[in-house]
Structure 1
Amino acid sequence: MVPEQVSAGLTFDERVERGRAARRTTPLEALAELDTSGPRDPIVLLEKQSESRVPQLVPVRHGRMSSSPFAFYRGAALVMADDLSRSPNSGLHTQLCGDAHLSNFGIFATPERRLAFDVNDFDETYPGPFEWDVKRLVASLAVAARENDFTGKQRKRITRACAAEYRETMLAQAERGNLAVWYSHIEPTAEMEDLRDELDSSTKKRTRKLLAKSRHRDSLQALERLTEVVDGERKIVSLPPLIVPIEEVFADADADRIYDELRGRIREYRATLRWDHRVLQDQFEFVQAARKVVGVGSVGTRAWILMFRGKDDDDPLFLQAKEAQRSVLAGYVDGPAFANEGERIVDGQRLMQAASDIFLGWQQGPGTIDGVRRDFYLRQLRDGKGSAVVEAMSPTGMTMYGRLCGRALAYAHARSGDRIAIAEYLGSGPEFDEAVAAFAEAYAKQNARDHAALLAAIEQGRVTARTGI
């Protein structure tokens, strides 16, 4: 899983020369280029993705993506990967998130029950040029800033600050030892509360509320929100199409047979956990499963919630089993193939995150009805998770939040990539910041055109959308 071009066997000076050679081959100013002159149809790419998704949910995905340019951007990782593949790249590879937009960073609880701020979505993780993640992140800031009606100067300040934070953090990581780099992380309980003092009063309130809310997002909260007591038994609620108990999804099938199959799959998943975590997982009894629609880009992939009971009904565990499809980057970068895409996601997450969910694992098996073999990864449904409301950010707040994301991304990249070569490529001047900011502004405009193309396709009947869900 680790990118092949890491530093194994190279001296410090050789790693420095790698960075310099990459800069000679692809000057920093080349990173500003956006080539959309060739054949390009984002709607075709979205339709291609839809072929492997649950047909009834595809219109929900299109409806969510149609709601705004930022919502479109969130669901268009494949479109951007296609565009990035035609742009100059550094050739310096690291483990990528693959979908490092602003809303895929946030707060979650570590195994030590402390809150951490980090990348929190890895469905598209794959090795590739480090700047692809940076461009995805910085362009998301440009898209969100346009949507919030920020001025051109404000947008430039925001995007340059994020790129600068990434660069400066990578330069600092290049000076540190391997263990120090591996343990680097952001603690929002300290850093985000310090950040509060830099923000306006309304943003301070939202930050405090976000931290407080994240501390209480756990299986007990999920129990309250996602279940009800029916005839004395705790059951997952039915709110189609967003939440549908498995007994309703496969109404014509034998429920006992379905649950026997699920218990077998849970045993297979259990084998991918660390031994001590298996001991903990064994203490929970599987109760019920339901299909649950999640996110924007993920809508239509098969996502299930699994409810377990601990010592009693007030001691729940909720896991999410999410379908793992091929990374959108895999078609554009020479890289490894995987027997299980769920394992790809789990390995990438463990590599990039400072601390990962103790219940993170994977499974593979044929569909209950159609027999199609699919890959899944599993994690806790809620474990202190929280993310900022991008639409409510002020220019100052978005600048600060963007810098926080840029730092977290640099920490993640430094763990698997050649941080010394990347730092040498980035340099100590602002050229990288300016190039990526220019790319981001250009891409935000392209994204607006792509969003308009989706609206036109819906209007023409080419694409079916279901809004308001």
Structure 2
Amino acid sequence: MTARSTIVEAPTATIVRTAAHANGGPMSAARHLTPSDRARRGLAARRTLPPREQGELVLPPNRPDPVSLIEEQARSRIPELVPVRHGRMMLSPFTFFRGNARGMAIDLGAGPVSGLGAQLCGDAHLSNFGLFGSPERRLLFDINDFDETTAGPWEWDVKRLAASLSVAGRGNGFSRKERRKCVLETVRRYRDASAEFGTMRTLDVWYARADIEEVQEALQNKMSSSRRKNVDQALLKARGSGNLKAYSKLTELTDDGVRIKADPPLLVPIGDILPDAGREELETGIKELLTLYRRTLSNERRALFDEFEFVDMARKVVGVGSVGTRCWIVLLRGRDDGDPLFLQVKEAGRSVLRRHVPMALRQRSAPRNEGERVVVGQRLMQAASDIFLGWQRVEGIDGQVRDFYVRQLRDMKGSAVVEKQDPRGMTMYGQLCGWTLARAHARTGDRIALATYLNSDDAFPEAMVEYAEAYADQNERDYQAFVDAINSGRLQAESGL
């Protein structure tokens, strides 16, 4: 049966349908239940909210004006970077979708949920999956953005991923039939992977990972020679994108030694932002942050971190939705100038999802700060995480108390250029994202209940096709309102950056 695609307005701000045994956090409820009990939870959830009904796009009453939401976000950001953010968001409906996570969070919060929870990425669109290096120096494919991570309804991640396929497919000129196949095959892979994880032992789920060489080998027969060549080039580029590559690209030799070179407004050394007194104060603040951040590392990684000394720092613009938040890159030196370490120190605000998550699915203990929330969520969902991943709260930077998380910059990282994918390529990529998301949810939620809820039929995949198309329609309307606000002068935008 095909799910309904009707867009309706919710009678209340949040509709929550929960099964009789809704959990109080991403992992707590399923710990000591038998597999049969967990399967019954899934069946109860399926009766409470049949999967086919998840295709209905429910909008909140008095839905906020998307332009007003963007204006509100701008108030907490670095003023001179706000037009850069707007310029990146106005490139296309897909870049707007990427930057409008808060708007979709409000919409997701208005609809019913199954009552089954997991740790959410919170922003699971196509461009937030990609390659990175494991501590063993293997290339893995995984989720790579956790700024919005929180415990919540598992289907919210799937809906954002499905909608991103429809939005990106429209931008790439795909027909409705082609977009339908992209979404359907992606969500089917999520469903089938969830079924596989539902039968696995707990440790086997935790150890599961998408080693890119194994993925590449499995896909060889499905790829044309030109696509294999493109994949090979992308992997080669990712393997070469570590600290040494960043060092050669981002630094220059000055009279004071090696320093980060300016590329304003995207990369601005601290000395170009503030006069001497302010620069010293901010530099001292970042050094203090790193000293305190060190405590969030395990003992052996503290010893490794202590091998490096501070050299320089600069403000960096990253992403689309994150533009304007405080983000610094810090250059450290080990043995000599040929032994660099680049760390990214990024501001962590409150997850845009958290206020909309039903109380029954929220974490019972809130993180001590937002940087910790990001780090813990990343460690829960990723197969392997950066060895320098940590967090800290700093008082005094910009006159505010702000939370940050720290990780390596460009550690063998790579991602697909979604805007260049053809229908077959996007379908294959979407399937890999679907498997990856299912594995992350299986690690943190009740994987048996989830597999039972999804069953083996196409009710949920078909529902996601309808939801994705309906949300792509809504995204286009919101994007047009955003562009109109720029053209009228209500919002300022700087393009080409």
TM-score past 0.5 threshold: yes
- For these two proteins, the number of residue pairs brought into alignment is 468
* Aligned partner letter, 2:428: M
1:351 corresponding residue in structure 2: 380
1:325-384 deviations in Å (ceiling 9; x for gaps):
00011110133433210000000000000100000000111233x320000000000111
Closer/same/farther in 2, CA of residues 37 and 114 from structure 1, 3 Å limit: closer
1:254 & 1:420 partners in 2: Cα distance? Answer: 55
Q: Distance in 2 between matches of 1:50 and 1:133?
A: 25
SS in 1 for 2:374: helix
CA shift for structure 1 position 2: 5.3
Task: State the secondary structure of the residue aligned to 1:322.
Answer: strand
- 1:271–1:278 CA contact under 8 A, matched in 2: yes
2:26 aligned partner: 3
Map of 1:248-263 to 2, 5 A cutoff? 248-251=272-275, 253-263=277-287
The CA deviation at 1:254 is: 4.5
Amino acid paired to 1:51:
R
- Counterparts of 2:189 and 2:463, CA distance in 1: 14
Q: Residue 429 of structure 1 aligns to a residue in which SS?
A: coil
Task: State which of 213, 227, 250 in structure 1 corresponds to 2:237.
Answer: 213
1:271-420 equivalent positions in 2, closer than 5 A: 271-333=295-357, 334=359, 335-336=362-363, 337-368=366-397, 370-420=398-448
Q: CA deviation at 1:430?
A: 0.9
2:41 counterpart of 1:12: no
Residue 196 (structure 1) shift = 4.4
> 2:155 aligned to 108, 131, 155, which one?
131
Could you tell me which residue of structure 2 aligns to residue 463 of structure 1? 491
Give the secondary structure class of the aligned counterpart of 2:152.
strand
Cα distance in structure 1, aligned partners of 2:423 and 2:224:
10
Identity %: 54
| Native 8 Å contact 1:92 1:422 kept in 2 | yes
CA distance in 1 between partners of 2:495 and 2:396 (Å): 28
- Report the 3-state secondary structure (helix = DSSP H, G, I; strand = E; otherwise coil) of the residue aligned with 2:112: coil
Decide whether the 8 Å contact of 2:133 with 2:140 is kept in 1.
yes
Q: Distance in 1 between matches of 2:318 and 2:414?
A: 14
Q: Could you report, residue by residue, the CA deviation over 1:177-229 in whole angstroms, capped at 9, with x for unpaired residues?
A: 00001111101122134424423343222211111101011010000111111
Rounded Cα–Cα distance in structure 2 between residues aligned with 1:259 and 1:453: 41
* Alignment match, 1:29: 52
Q: 1:95 aligns with which of 105, 119, 124?
A: 119
Question: Amino acid of the residue matched to residue 405 of structure 2?
Answer: Y
Verify the 8 A CA contact 2:60 2:110 in the aligned structure 1.
no
CA distance in 2, matches of 1:259, 1:297: 26
The yes-or-no answer on 1:141 pairing with 2:169 is no
Task: Quote the Cα distance in structure 1 between the aligned partners of 2:133 and 2:438.
Answer: 20
Take 1:193 and 1:237, find their aligned partners in 2: how far apart are those partners? 40
Aligned partner of 1:59 among 83, 107, 117? 83
Q: Secondary structure at the match of 2:399?
A: coil
* Cα gap change, 1:6 to 1:415, in 2 (>3 Å): farther
SS of the counterpart of 1:108?
Answer: strand
Q: Is the 8 A contact 2:25 2:117 kept in 1?
A: no
Q: What secondary structure is seen at the aligned counterpart in 1 of 2:296?
A: coil
- Among 35, 40, 62, which residue is 1:39 paired with? 62
Does the CA contact (< 8 Å) of 2:27 and 2:445 recur in 1? Answer: no
State which drifts further: 243-252 or 337-346. 243-252
Q: Is the 8 A contact 1:33 1:88 kept in 2?
A: no
Tell me the amino acid that sits aligned with residue 344 of structure 1: R
Q: Which AA in structure 2 matches 1:405?
A: C
Per the alignment, in what secondary structure is the counterpart of residue 227 of structure 2? helix
- 8 Å contact kept, 1:5–1:92: no
- Contact 2:134 2:384 (C-alpha < 8 Å) held by counterparts: yes
Report how far residue 5 of structure 1 moved: 5.0
Q: Deviation at 1:261?
A: 3.0
What CA distance in whole angstroms lies between the structure 1 residues aligned with 2:334 and 2:421?
A: 40
Q: Mean alpha-carbon deviation: is it higher for 8-17 or for 103-112?
A: 8-17
Contact 1:111–1:355 (Cα < 8 Å) also in 2: yes
Gaps of 5+ in 2: 1-23
Q: Deviations over 1:394-445 (max 9, x none)?
A: 1111110000000000000000100000011000111111001110111111
Letter in 2 for 1:13: S
Distance in 1 (CA, whole Å) between partners of 2:442 and 2:180 is 26
Written as runs of structure 1 = structure 2, the 5 A alignment for 1:132-281 is 132-231=156-255, 233-251=257-275, 253-281=277-305
Corresponding position of 2:468: 440
Quick one: distance in 1 between partners of 2:372 and 2:424? 39
Structure 1: which amino acid aligns with 2:209?
A: H
Q: Aligned equivalents of 2:29 and 2:103: distance in 1?
A: 28
Q: Which whole-Å CA distance do the structure 2 matches of 1:324 and 1:395 have between them? A: 35
Equivalent AA in structure 2 for residue 10 of structure 1: L
Taking the aligned partners of 1:149 and 1:201, their CA distance within structure 2 comes to 23
Deviations, residues 93-143 of structure 1 (Å, cap 9, x unaligned): 100000000000000000000000000100000011101001111111111
1:120 equivalent in alignment to 2:144:
yes
Unaligned runs of 5+ in 1: none
Q: What is the root-mean-square deviation in Å for CA atoms of aligned residues?
A: 1.4
- State the alpha-carbon separation in 2 of the partners of residues 345 and 210 from structure 1: 27
Q: In 1, Cα distance between the equivalents of 2:496 and 2:119?
A: 36
Q: Flag the 1:350–1:2 CA change in 2: closer, same or farther, 3 A.
A: farther
Tell me if 1:79 matches 2:103. Answer: yes
SS of residue matched to 1:85: helix
Look up the SS of the partner of 2:385 in the other structure: coil
- Alpha-carbon distance between aligned partners in 1 of 2:27 and 2:431, rounded to the nearest angstrom: 29
Code of the aligned partner of 2:56: E
